[in-house]
Amino acid sequence: MADYSPSYLTEQLFYRFEPEGTGLFAVLDGARNPEIHRQLQLSALEYESLFSGQLSAELRAVSPFVVRLRPQDAITQFLVDQGWGKAFGIFVAWQAGLGSLRRHLRTLLRVRTEVGKKLYFRFYDPRVLRAVLPTCSPEQLRDTFGAIRRIDMESATGRELVRFRLSQPPFTLQRWQHDLNPTERQVLRDAAPSTLKSAC
């Protein structure tokens, strides 16, 4: 049996308790695997590179992309079935269109160190963002999230979904970890009191 349940992962990513009008977007690292760009090209979904200007075909293919996902689309299944646990990208819940999210995400591509040096920030790499977010100040968290409702990503093992939300002022980071292993989830469900089983 797989270490995670793709169907349960999809259910958690398309979390049905978000406010009406909330969409799920993936922010993907085209440099991780050439199949990412190919799947985007094959899809009928709207997507954009986070890089601007005139890009060569080679550079565009390995750039970071943002795409709005739908549950049954082939690229969604590709990311869930083949990309999970391989640092292909992160998932964000956003209530506006792709263009406004892209503008916000582009503000995160460059960060300035304490000595004023500008660095490229690969925030769309879950290994990076998972480590950086808990160290951010309230102001940094506010700037990172903007209007993003939540950020989802794989755990280090790929067996869990890690979810981050930002509380309202004073800005603090809230973190959840959802076990995606079907066997362990069933064990927990069977052991739970009957009044709690519906929530498992």
* Ranges of each domain in the chain: 6-199
> Tokens representing 183?
């066997």
Instruction: Give the model's confidence band at 2: pLDDT under 50 very low, under 70 low, under 90 confident, else very high.
Output: low
The fraction of the chain above a pLDDT of 70, given in percent, is 90
For the stretch 113-142, what's the b/e string if a residue is b when 16 or more beta carbons lie within 10 angstroms of its beta carbon?
Answer: eeeeeeeebbbbbbeebbebbeebeeeebe
**Is it the case that residue 196 has pLDDT exceeding 50?**
no
For 64-110, the pLDDT digits (tens) are: 999 999 999 999 999 999 999 999 999 999 999 999 999 999 999 99
The answer to whether 66 touches 96, Cβ cutoff 8 Å, is no
**Is it the case that residue 113 has pLDDT exceeding 90?**
no
Query: According to the model, what pLDDT value does residue 4 have?
Result: 86
> Tokens representing 177?
């970890």
Note the pTM of the prediction, 2 decimals: 0.88
